[in-house]
Amino acid sequence: MTADEIAGHMKTGEFEFLDCRFLDFPGLWQNCTYTASEVDADRLAGGFGFDGSAIRGWQAINESDMLLVPDCDTARRDPFAERATLAVICDVRDPVTKKTYGRDPRAVAKKAQKHLEATGIADTAHFGPELEFFLFDRVRFDQTTNAAWYEVDSAEGVWNRGSDHPGNRGHQIPIRQGYFPCPPVDTMHDLRGEMAATMQSLGIRVECHHHEVATGGQQEIDLRFDALLPMADKCMFYKHVVKRVAANHGRVATFMAKPLLGDNGSGMHTHFSLWKDDEPVFAGRRYAGLSQLGLWAIGGILRHTPSLLAFCAPGTNSYKRLVPGFEAPVSLVYSSRNRSAAIRIPRYDDRPGSKRLEFRCPDPSANPYLAFSAILMAALDGIQNEIDPGDPVDLDLYDLEPERFAAIPRTPATLDEALSALDADRGYLLAGDVFPADLIDGWIAYKRQHEVDALRARPHPHEFEMYFHS
């Protein structure tokens, strides 16, 4: 829509409200809803004022005034609102200078696109993320001075196999055996179908949906690839739809990376390709049908993965997923078929237009605007500096001799390690001012203060088992 079209819909009464949505620093949607009488073309162009100091990781209290400026191209009817509501994603700007706010994730994505075009390497970066998530029937957690605990539950969970509940039919999914079962074992098929249909109604093209590996309700809905900014926008609508449909059916969805002990975590395997003048830059005659530029892009991503993960695996919980033994991509190598490698080159379809990389380390707790932008910047750095990715590893990494396996570089073991890597290896992100230094410094400071140090200071329940009788 255009601003005039939105204003016209508000004036005629087709919509009663305009719901303005934007991201906080870590990547959760925030919103403020305006009545139709307050919406006209001038307000849509000039923006709506709000207090930026109340948003996580943003402005100081003495610089609190900010503007929400709707991106009218993103406007969609809210399928969940009881009153007729038009939802729109907004950019964040300074009310004095009218410039985009440096810590607005959408601003980073827009600058990444401009930087890509300026390099002359390509004009479009396509992203196709596979977001995994869990659907639980119940969740409880708390942290007090003298107690810390959590509990999630799902009728599909193997721990409920012996339940005497009248509804128990014995179809619980064993650990790591939840991939692609049919109903009635897969009890979430129709629920995922409703989610996928709702996404389609919002103009988000869905390719497929299925149950994922873990017991206890792990799911996946795959989207058709798109360019960087619109795909990041779609990821936010995706999460919103999943959470709202789940809530409407008395369930709760989570995109945290590792909610269950001893079973697979949730990843966001990210398919990535570059195009120029509608031609695939990564297609060629080298390994697995890649071009030399595609191999250099792999080299850049692998070299920068430790710092990339500060954005792509952004939580302390993310590194409970990135451990060997659960198809986790902890080895910094590439392969055409090995799913434990950090980068895989899919071979389902070897047509040039399907040639892409799959970066398997990210998880769905990531802010997609920052994660996709960082991946693009690492790939461009690899191409511009002709970074050799080394030889591919097509063997089962877990069957290698211990000495050879130990010699393979690994992903960081903790968020703190990833943040240290980001602090030391940030030059490729600063190119073209895509990631301002202030944003990187703010990200490191926020994550260390509110997540790393917050967890470090808390006794863990398992520590009582290990140390209580010391």
Which residue in this structure is represented by tokens 């119940």?
138
User: Is 289 annotated among the ligand-binding residues?
Assistant: no
- 51 assigned to active site: yes
Q: How many CB atoms lie within 10 A of CB 457?
A: 7
Q: Which of 360, 363, 381, 416 is catalytic?
A: 360
User: Is 417 annotated among the ligand-binding residues?
Assistant: no
User: Is 5 annotated among the ligand-binding residues?
Assistant: no
User: Is 273 annotated among the ligand-binding residues?
Assistant: yes
Q: Which of 19, 222, 263, 358 is catalytic?
A: 358
- 205 assigned to active site: no
Q: Which of 269, 303, 304, 344 is catalytic?
A: 269
User: Is 76 annotated among the ligand-binding residues?
Assistant: no
Provide φ and ψ at 211, rounded to 5°: -75, 145
User: Is 470 annotated among the ligand-binding residues?
Assistant: no
Alpha-helix residue ranges (DSSP H) falling in 249-386: 292-312, 318-321, 368-384
User: Is 207 annotated among the ligand-binding residues?
Assistant: yes
- 151 assigned to active site: no
- 465 assigned to active site: no
Q: Which of 91, 104, 132, 363 is catalytic?
A: 132
Q: Which of 138, 205, 339, 456 is catalytic?
A: 339
- 426 assigned to active site: no
- 269 assigned to active site: yes
User: Is 189 annotated among the ligand-binding residues?
Assistant: no
Q: Which of 5, 14, 51, 65 is catalytic?
A: 51
The Cα–Cα gap between 340 and 335 comes to 9
Q: Tokens representing 433? A: 């001012």
> Taking a C-beta distance cutoff of 8 angstroms, is the pair 43, 68 a contact?
no
Q: Which of 212, 363, 381, 451 is catalytic?
A: 212
User: Is 126 annotated among the ligand-binding residues?
Assistant: no
User: Is 269 annotated among the ligand-binding residues?
Assistant: yes
> Taking a C-beta distance cutoff of 8 angstroms, is the pair 16, 77 a contact?
no
User: Is 339 annotated among the ligand-binding residues?
Assistant: yes
Q: Which of 156, 220, 222, 363 is catalytic?
A: 220
Picking from 224, 257, 231, 256, the residue whose alpha carbon sits closest to that of residue 106 is 231
User: Is 117 annotated among the ligand-binding residues?
Assistant: no
Q: Which residues contact 77 (CB under 8 A, 6 or more apart)?
A: 15, 84, 85, 86, 87
Q: Tokens representing 359? A: 């970066």
- 130 assigned to active site: yes
User: Is 212 annotated among the ligand-binding residues?
Assistant: yes
The Cα–Cα gap between 407 and 417 comes to 19
Q: Inter-axis angle of helices 415-424 and 292-312, to 10 degrees?
A: 120
Q: Which residues of 319-346 are buried (b: 16+ CB within 10 A; e: fewer)?
A: bbbbeeebebbbbbbbbeebebbbbbbb
User: Is 16 annotated among the ligand-binding residues?
Assistant: no
Q: How many CB atoms lie within 10 A of CB 303?
A: 21
Q: Which of 19, 78, 91, 130 is catalytic?
A: 130
Please state the residue numbers annotated as binding site for L-glutamate: 264-265, 321, 327, 339, 360
Please state the residue numbers annotated as binding site for ATP: 207, 271-273, 339
Catalytic residue IDs:
51, 130, 132, 212, 220, 269, 339, 358, 360
Please state the residue numbers annotated as binding site: 130, 132, 207, 212, 220, 264-265, 269, 271-273, 321, 327, 339, 358, 360
Please state the residue numbers annotated as binding site for Mg(2+): 130, 132, 212, 220, 269, 358
